[in-house]
Structure 1
Amino acid sequence: MSITINNAFDFSQIKGVIFDLDGTLADSNPNFAGLRAELGIAPETDILAYIESITDPVLAQHTQKVVTRYELESSHNAQWISGAKQLMTFFKQQQLPQAILTRNMPQAAKITLENLGINVGVDIDPLLTRFDAKAKPDPQGVELICQQWRIKTAEILFIGDYLFDIQTANNAGSLSVLYSPSLVPEYAASANIVCGCYLSLVEHFKQQLTQITE
């Protein structure tokens, strides 16, 4: 599978692009299974929701230290996901503003971006972490970015690799691309486009633009 169109849209109407970070732009291989095992929580537990639910200050401090360690270890190993750099370049050529909305902590996100050579304020602006807006799937991050860009949420294309990303886009009333290079999850049907190869996505958008000019 290269791309699957669930709900077609006109790319020429897109005014800005928001990316998730880990698993979308960066191949950082976060060990979520190991993290959940060390925290003693179920495999599908939302880690951030678990952290917020802790009332014991000692346990909360310990949990935060464990999560921070895992996040930093992951970010130091970050590399580009195949085709992601070319996708960002294409959007830049179309003069579309680009931003990142991540559930990461700021320090980990910045290390990841440094590894990729992505400059905040130049290549992307803004970078919003879970410290800057309510964590996905809450749409607050998208809304804040749209306020900065002075565009409507319906004019945003949100690209991510997980359920929370698609839920965030839907909650904000934005369009979405699910990056899923291997197994396609059940929730993929909720995305406008399911993409297994970023280069194929670029070609799809180029074809749309070519048809407009013909």
Structure 2
Amino acid sequence: MYTPIPYNMISGVIFDLDNTLVSSALDFDWLRQQLCCAADIDLLQYIADIPDATHRKQLEDKVIEHEIIDARQSSIMPGCHALLSYLRQQNIPTAVVTRNCIQAAKLKIEHHQLQFDRIVSREDFPPKPAPDALFDITQQWQLAPQNILYVGDYIYDLQAAFRANMPSCLVTNGDDLPFTDQASIVVQRLDSLTEILREQACRLQREHVRVVTNVQSGN
């Protein structure tokens, strides 16, 4: 348990992919059974720890096969296009950091005609909840991590954001999740996040005008 990073001025947004921007119907319980992975063990870590390279590759290929199938069946999440359009209008950079393989990630993104400044998959950095990918994007964008919002639907997203010293937004998709208190912002759908960011931008603009007016008037 931890206290989430408070959000203030958001100058960049990083997204999870599955069930945040696009749908995913991957049955991880079934997949764990197929790969003989215990329910309480992270599937990707389980595969990475297999010492035999041939066996490890077989399991990796099995996961990729199901990710590709899932990508072809995916649909856009409500409010996704409107949020990304708003961020583009505001010149706010966007990225995706996903535990998916790069083939599945690009297939989903291209199929739904989404645009991002950067796409990061598990082939690039250790998968979430490791914060490595978030650190790298922070350096690339030359932004303070406190000004970058990470948006996702699972505890790994919140943990990665916290470890990177970033505020987080949890998209619940209407589910009653047990880790909502670990997010800086909680929304049911991306539409609500668009409104939050819009209201924040208006508030900061009003504050800027007030400060400039006071300076000009000598107050």
TM superposition score normalised by structure 2: 0.86
Match of 1:38 in 2: 34
User: Any stretches of 5+ residues in structure 2 without a counterpart?
Assistant: 207-219
- Deviation string 1:17-73 (CA, Å, 9 cap, x unpaired) is 000111110113222122112112223431111011111334313211211111111
State which of 85, 108, 121 in structure 2 corresponds to 1:89: 85
Q: Check conservation: 1:31, 1:70, Cα contact below 8 A.
A: no
Match of 1:54 in 2: 50
Equivalent position amino acid for 1:105 in 2: C
Equivalent position amino acid for 2:117 in 1: D
Equivalent position amino acid for 2:7 in 1: F
- Does 1:208 find its partner at 2:200? yes
Match of 1:105 in 2: 101
Equivalent position amino acid for 2:49 in 1: S
State which of 55, 59, 75 in structure 2 corresponds to 1:79: 75
State which of 116, 120, 134 in structure 2 corresponds to 1:128: 120
Match of 2:164 in 1: 172
Task: Identify if the C-alpha distance between structure 1 residues 7 and 208 changes in structure 2 by more than 3 Å, giving closer, same or farther.
Answer: same
How many Å separate the matches in 2 of 1:85 and 1:145?
22
How many Å separate the matches in 1 of 2:32 and 2:13?
31
Task: Identify if the C-alpha distance between structure 1 residues 136 and 203 changes in structure 2 by more than 3 Å, giving closer, same or farther.
Answer: same
Match of 1:26 in 2: 22
Corresponding residue SS for 2:105: helix
Q: Check conservation: 1:20, 1:102, Cα contact below 8 A.
A: yes
How many Å separate the matches in 1 of 2:97 and 2:64?
18
How many Å separate the matches in 2 of 1:202 and 1:184?
21
The number of residue pairs the alignment matches comes to 203
Larger Rg: 2
- Does 1:194 find its partner at 2:190? no
Residue 162 of structure 1 and its aligned partner are, at CA, apart by 0.7
State which of 140, 146, 149 in structure 1 corresponds to 2:141: 149
Equivalent position amino acid for 1:108 in 2: A
TM superposition score normalised by structure 1: 0.88
Match of 1:114 in 2: 110
How many Å separate the matches in 1 of 2:91 and 2:61?
40
How many Å separate the matches in 2 of 1:151 and 1:75?
31
Residue 104 of structure 1 and its aligned partner are, at CA, apart by 1.0
- Does 1:64 find its partner at 2:56? no
| Aligned-pair Cα RMSD in Å | 1.7
Corresponding residue SS for 1:80: coil
Q: Check conservation: 1:157, 1:175, Cα contact below 8 A.
A: yes
Percent identity over the alignment?
Answer: 33
Equivalent position amino acid for 1:15 in 2: S
